[in-house]
Amino acid sequence: MLQKRIPIRMCTGCRKRKPKSELIRIVKAKSSSNFKFCYTEQTNFPSSDPLIFIDHTKKSAGRGTYICKDYDCLKKARKSKKFEKMYPFKAVPDLYLKLEEEITR
Residue ranges with strand state E in the chain: 8-10, 17-19, 23-29, 36-38, 51-54, 63-68
- Is position 50 an interface residue for Zn ion (rule: CB under 5 A)? no
Choices 5-13, 33-41, 54-62, 91-99; region in contact with Zn ion by CB under 5 A: 5-13
Does the footprint of Zn ion cover residue 11 (CB under 5 A)?
yes
**H or E, element range at 75:** helix 71-79
Q: Does residue 13 bind Zn ion (CB under 5 A)?
A: yes
List the interface residues with Zn ion, window 83-102 (CB under 5 A). Answer: none
Q: Does 73 bind Zn ion (CB under 5 A)?
A: yes
DSSP percent split of the chain into helix, strand, coil, nearest 5? 30, 25, 45
With b for 16 or more beta-carbon neighbours within 10 A and e for fewer, the 5-30 pattern comes to eeeebebbbeeeebeeeebbbbbbbe
Of 24, 26, 29, 68, the one binding Zn ion (CB under 5 A) is 68
Q: Applying CB under 5 A, does 77 fall inside the site for Zn ion?
A: no
Hey, which residues between 22 and 41 contact Zn ion (CB under 5 A)?
none
Residue 30 beta carbon to Zn ion: minimum distance, rounded to whole angstroms: 27
**Contact residues for Zn ion, defined by CB under 5 A:** 11, 13-14, 68, 73
